[in-house]
Structure 1
Amino acid sequence: MAIKFQYNKTSLQQQEKHLKMRVRTLPTIKSKESALRQQVKQTKREVEELELKLEEDIRGYQSMMSLWDEFNPELIRVERVDLSVRKVAGVVLPVLDEIHYEVKPFSIFNAPSWYAQGIDLLKTLATTGIQAEFLRLKMEFLEHARKKTTQKVNLFEKVQIPGYQDAIRKIKRFLEDEESLSKSSQKIMRSNLEKRKLKQEEEVVL
């Protein structure tokens, strides 16, 4: 990204203002990027733990697999999921508050004795799976925000700050050269005027 500027004092002031703002803002953006990076790592770890727990829970009930043929899957469903939002390092994230299940009534006399246990098991597995899914969603939001923040850090550090510093150097050098040239011109002009005045004085004497 090329920094646009003009060789005058007004442009110099503008470039210095832009540079000052970015230098002042950069530590805040870096801090945000670091916080987001930590949140991504932590959330990834939480997702892996929940997925591992889900696998272990499923393995733990392998002995009941043959019984599931008798189970009516329509007995239980997710009725609704309560969500809220909160900000983490300036990023709005979805938060899973509560999962509500609808359990249809069934006859405890006609249904197998383990149905109640089966319903509780499905609730546990579904809750773990939904929690893991929401954490994955949270991680995607955080990772997207982290990438954008990293891009901004790189833009400031590698492009804009060096660009404004270079523009300021060029404008200052140009203004210094212009001032030196002006002083030299004034000196030459003053010298010529003095010579002319001296000559006129000599002519008057003669």
Structure 2
Amino acid sequence: MAIKFQYNKTSQQALAKQLQVRERALPTLKNKESALRMQVKNAKDKATELEEQLKKEMGLYDDMVRLWNEFDPSLAQIEDVELTTKKIAGVQTPVLEKIHFAVRDYNMFEKPAWFPDGIAILEKLVKLAIEKEVFERKMELLDFARKKTTQKVNLYEKVQIPGFQDAIRKIKRFLEDEENLSKAAQKIVKNRQQNVEVES
């Protein structure tokens, strides 16, 4: 990225301000990046843990597969999923508050005695599955923000800060050279005047 500037003190001061802003922001951005990296790992670990827990729970009921064929899945349905948001390192992430299930009335004398347990098992499995999805979404949002922050850190660290420093160095050298030329020109003029006075 080429930084546009002019060879004068005003441009030098403007570049110095821009450089200072970026140098001050860089540590904060690095902290944010590491915090996001840690939060992404935590969310990923939790999603994996819930995935394994869900598989384990479902494995417990593998021997009941024939019984599940009798079960009417329309008895219990998700009525509502309450989600709130929580800010983590400036990123809005979802938090699962509560899942509301609607259990349809049924005749307990006509259905098998294990149906209430079946409904409870179904609710437990659904809760694990939804919670896992919420953590996966949280991980995606945090990872996207982390990538953006990493890009900004790299932009500041590898492009903009060195670019501003280089531009300021060029302006300083130009102004020093200009000042030296001016002093040299003044000496020459002064020497000429002295020579003219001596000759007359």
TM superposition score category, shorter chain reference: over 0.9
Partner in structure 2 of residue 81 of structure 1: 81
Structure showing greater Rg? 1
After superposition, the C-alpha distances for 1:49-86 in whole angstroms (9 at most, x for unaligned) are 00000000000011111011111111111101111111
Partner in structure 1 of residue 196 of structure 2: 196
Q: How does 1:1-206 map to 2 (within 5 A)?
A: 1-200=1-200
After superposition, the C-alpha distances for 1:35-62 in whole angstroms (9 at most, x for unaligned) are 0000001110000000000000000011
Deviation at 1:199, TM superposition (A): 1.9
Structure 1 stretches of 5 or more lacking a match? 201-206
Name the aligned partner's letter for residue 54 of structure 1: L
Name the aligned partner's letter for residue 56 of structure 1: K
Moved more, 147-156 or 79-88: 79-88
Task: Give me the identity figure in percent.
Answer: 54
CA distance in 1, matches of 2:125, 2:186: 88
Partner in structure 2 of residue 203 of structure 1: none
Two-structure CA RMSD over aligned residues (Å): 0.6
Structure 2 stretches of 5 or more lacking a match? none
Normalised to the residue count of structure 1, the TM-score between the two structures is 0.96
CA distance in 2, matches of 1:136, 1:76: 25
Name the aligned partner's letter for residue 95 of structure 1: V
Name the aligned partner's letter for residue 120 of structure 1: A
CA distance in 1, matches of 2:151, 2:177: 37
Name the aligned partner's letter for residue 31 of structure 2: S
CA distance in 2, matches of 1:21, 1:86: 29
Aligned residues: 200
Normalised to the residue count of structure 2, the TM-score between the two structures is 0.99
CA distance in 2, matches of 1:20, 1:179: 26
Name the aligned partner's letter for residue 128 of structure 1: L
Deviation at 1:89, TM superposition (A): 0.7
Deviation at 1:93, TM superposition (A): 1.0
Deviation at 1:164, TM superposition (A): 0.3
